[in-house]
Structure 1
């Protein structure tokens, strides 16, 4: 009886096998090979396969038996940066810290690939058969130390999961600082037929698995085109339909936690708002500009945003609804250079010297938000960049804050030392340091808040309209989860 499992008609063509004989930290090798599989067209349907092999850059004990794993590239995502770039491969590997070598296998499309992706269910029986028939390809990619000469090495297949059910590329751009990046409209997995979750997202090629910015996505349907459909695929088919980003509601978890940090300044800010004075915020890192728009629209702030890449600012304006106005000032420049140049001007102002100039308001800030990440994918995703998380930088930021102000930093720690050092430096400069654990999403993501004086609202004041507004905009449990770092 013939086997139900597909037998390759010829061997896979591989590069020099000596390249794979040992784990070489950080080594990345990609190659193509003829697809000799015949009965797996549901998953690997192109005549040429692309194989990418990445060894973890993390040092391993010489006596430790390396762990080898493989992953199939989801159909129609072959050109997604997550799967066709070294930086994307690295980010996937960092999600599996015990894996020494990760092997990606996918179709090699003869073109740039579709700009639309739709999640499709995979037959688990079909996938299991495919994994078995890929053994002749995977076996030579195992290092010698992991092979038992009496049996074939086993290669567990990992599953790639994210939250996208449907995605379409709105714009593919390139900036002088961040490099290539995408604006995407996305429908999230889950939701019922009457309530699909739609998002507009910003994603950088240098860190493709990280969503840099996202906002609610609203469809605008012509008046005469009534529809009960809420899924993105159906809505896009309606003639003259449009989609706009709505930053009035925060959907990025770390932004909600950052806004919660304003609870430390409610006693100072509320009376000033009542007198007609806008509180002031400095945002280092703009991305899609969602945080800036939210602060100005919902919380009456005058906001100054600093972004290193002018093309990213253009994308924020065109695709995320960020508009420069009397309440929002946009500066193109390096964040560290900007605050260093701004600090002496503050000193001049305090000593009654009138020379300030430029487009930056002169008063100190009630809140400084830092939402910057590292541009180096080889050490994993981290925020803020190592060069920013230094005591001199924090001292400069302190000089820009009002005496009752708050410094709010989005922190993603690549290791425990990074976080503990950052907190130690802040505690030496500020009165108190607090944090919120952002939770699921990016591993190690916390929002750290540093204050200069004990200004937290204790509930003994009269009605605080700013606090009431703040509590109406973010979930109650977020405020309750603020932790004092002792």
Structure 2
């Protein structure tokens, strides 16, 4: 089907086009050597009210990553565009994605040749200029910048692709990343096609035989990699766990009485948080995940073991809290010391956000409050799509909970919001004598525990 290139003369919000053309110079660069190249063009869904001269940019898809959802889907393209401030049109140029028909999946290995890329960008400059809006030329010649995608992945191998009834297509992959002090680090990741640039779950993996680390290569059939559940590597999970410091006195009293603290986790994913709470902090955990296929993947690849201390339910977390609040779930004790929420929105128009808009409702927050123990806390991973969303969330929480706290994750995206059911009270156990707090500080970064910031009290307090 022929493309009418005249439609590209103007910016049209959210317009997406994808087509192939003959390669203008297939011999020039190994990173773009196929006879046909794929071009994908996306206009921003968000345009300024008084638009200046449109800003356009181009990006060459990294070699061997043409099939990655980040570069081969409209959703991935949108995330790349939204991550580039003030860009109103982003053009992706690369080889056609290759569907590997062989039984053994290929291994991606990072390949960078700066000189060849520079030459290729010069060659493609007339093409990207021709694909730019006419209004870009009002002040003379147009210089279209080439953006370069960079991340910390050296190599990766897809272990499985599957489809969940709720989350859609997903994949499990092993990756080697650039660790601190140039150390080799190996991770296992769960990603969803609907959010191509968001890692849903990430855990550390290690050789079953520790002595094999130096010779480890992603994709090797001779080494068995197993999950390491002793550490949290997803950047926002550590501050979520650090929030337990706010209820450390209650947990220490439970432990001294021979009881286990109880946690409700809404959003299980691969089970990294659920597993850490159980194996490292001796919690009894109830996990809720909306997609049963996600749980199958978690059990097969991420070490999730539900049993006596971990009970996993398939369903909607908000509905479960409502049922617990009304005593409609007989097999689950409806009181928890902590509720942890790791749910993201499936509306990607303005980028990745969490929690979903429907989660910040009065009835949902009241249900959460009612199933917390008297000194319990409600912990939410928040990725605000806008300042107004965050202000609304804080306002709504303050109407229901007496105390509100915040941890800035420090990545420019995530905040952990902690709502306490009751005002802080003195404890007979000092922090220096609290063994749970001592253990918590050893397991995670004490800096996050020390950075917990009180951001307000409730505008009105209600009793259950």
- Please tell me the TM-score bracket, short chain as reference: over 0.9
Q: 1:130 maps to what in 2?
A: 120
- Does residue 420 of structure 2 align to residue 451 of structure 1? yes
Aligned to 1:216: 204
C-alpha change, 1:227 and 1:290, in structure 2 (3 Å) is: closer
- Whether the 8 Å CA contact 1:23–1:55 is kept in 2: the answer is yes
Unaligned runs of 5+ in 2: 457-464
1:293 partnered with 2:275: yes
Q: Which residue of 2 aligns with 1:478?
A: 448
Aligned partners of 1:371 and 1:171: how far apart in 2?
Answer: 23
Q: Look up the SS of the partner of 1:273 in the other structure.
A: helix
CA contact (8 A) 1:198 1:217 kept: yes
Q: Which digits, 9 at most, give the CA deviation of each residue in 1:410-434, with x for residues without a partner?
A: 0001100111100111111111111
How many residue pairs get aligned? The number is: 452
Secondary structure of residue in 2 paired with 1:253: coil
Q: Confirm whether residue 143 of structure 1 aligns to residue 133 of structure 2.
A: yes
Match of 2:220 among 231, 237, 250: 237
Contact 2:321 2:367 (C-alpha < 8 Å) held by counterparts = yes
Residue matched to 1:352 = none
Q: Secondary structure at the match of 2:195?
A: coil
Q: Does 1:313 align with 2:298?
A: no
Aligned residue runs from structure 1 range 40-439, under 5 A: 40-112=28-100, 115-122=106-113, 124-148=114-138, 151=141, 153-190=142-179, 195-221=183-209, 227=212, 229-233=214-218, 236-237=219-220, 239=222, 241-345=223-327, 356-357=329-330, 359-360=331-332, 362-439=333-410
Using the size of structure 1 for normalisation, the TM-score is: 0.89
Stretches of structure 1 lacking an aligned partner (at least 5 in a row)? 1-12, 347-355
Q: Partners of 1:230 and 1:427 in 2: how far apart?
A: 53
The answer on whether the counterparts of 2:262 and 2:284 sit within 8 Å (CA) in structure 1 is: yes
- 2:31 counterpart SS class: coil
Q: CA deviation at 1:271?
A: 1.4
Report how far residue 111 of structure 1 moved. Answer: 3.0
Q: SS of 1:177's equivalent? A: coil
- The answer to whether the 8 A contact 1:265-1:457 is kept is no
- Contact kept, 8 Å, 1:411 with 1:447, in 2: the verdict is yes
What CA distance in whole angstroms lies between the structure 2 residues aligned with 1:139 and 1:160?
Answer: 20
Secondary structure of 1:377's counterpart equals coil
Secondary structure in structure 1 of the residue aligned to 2:357:
coil
RMSD, matched Cα:
2.1
Is the CA contact 1:336–1:393 (under 8 Å) kept in the aligned structure 2? yes
- On the 8 A contact 2:26/2:32 being kept in 1, the answer is no
User: Could you list the per-position Cα deviations for residues 36-61 of structure 1 after superposition, in whole angstroms to 9, with x for gaps in the alignment?
Assistant: 21332322011111111011111223
TM-score by structure 2 length?
0.93
